[in-house]
Amino acid sequence: MLEVRNLECARGDRTLFSDLSFSLHAGQLLHIVGSNGCGKTTLLRTVCGLTQPQAGHVLWQDTDIDELREDYYQQLAHIGHLNGINGELSALENLSFHANIWTGRRHHNYDNILQQVGLSRVARLPTKLLSQGQKRRVALARLLTSTAPLWVLDEPLTALDVATVDFIHERLNEHISNNGMVIMTSHQTLSFEVDIIQTIELN
């Protein structure tokens, strides 16, 4: 279980949100919504331990993530607003590199993964030559190598075509049905069963 207790985050002198509490259990998705600048990305970064809150705590299995550190990070797959890929490396090289960091071992078939996200024809090109949608698919392909139970995703559906959005929805549904957990932001409508999704709106 992930639990957020009385969280307060700020940007400069401005408080983004305060007294924010929620919990997320296996088999659930939390959808964070709100206007641009309301603190959605800050909340996700705080859940990942990348940003320190002004007040409050983030707990994993009833223990503060600051105490768990590496043990927590091994349970977490994070894809931020930026794609986090090296433009000089190919999609294949980027995927291999990140999968090795996340899992500590080489995945058996990266070409198959890139085929699933529609990148077979450009798999060996430097990613700096790809479109924004293709770069986003390179980033999202990392999820198909992840064994982490908690996925934290910042606008994962941005710049994707309809077919890829449907594919990502399927993978998210599959992850949740296997007792995974997802926290994500998106301005798009999500296609999930009502009983597995909860929504928090930041103002």
pLDDT at residue 197 above 90? no
Domains detected in the chain = 2-75+148-201 (3.40.50.300)
Task: Say how far apart CA 44 and CA 1 lie, in whole Å.
Answer: 16
pLDDT at residue 189 above 60? yes
Entry field: residues in the chain: 203
Q: What is the pLDDT of residues 9-33, one digit of tens each?
A: 999 889 999 999 999 999 999 999 9
pLDDT at residue 106 above 80? no
Band of pLDDT at residue 108, cut at 50, 70 and 90: low
Per DSSP, what are the bridge partners of residue 126? Answer: 90
**Mind spelling out the 3-state secondary structure of the chain?**
CEEEEEEEEEECCEEEEEEEEEEECCCEEEEEECCCCCCHHHHHHHHCCCCCCCEEEEEECCEEHHHHCHHHHCCEEEECCCCCCCCCCEHHHHHHHHHHHHHCCCCCCHHHHHHHCCCHHHCCCEHHHCCHHHHHHHHHHHHHHCCCCEEEEECCCCCCCHHHHHHHHHHHHHHHHCCCEEEEECCCCCCCCHHHEEEEECC
Q: What is the pLDDT of residues 25-58, one digit of tens each?
A: 999 999 999 998 999 999 999 999 999 999 999 9
Band of pLDDT at residue 190, cut at 50, 70 and 90: confident
By percentage, how much of the chain surpasses pLDDT 90? Answer: 77
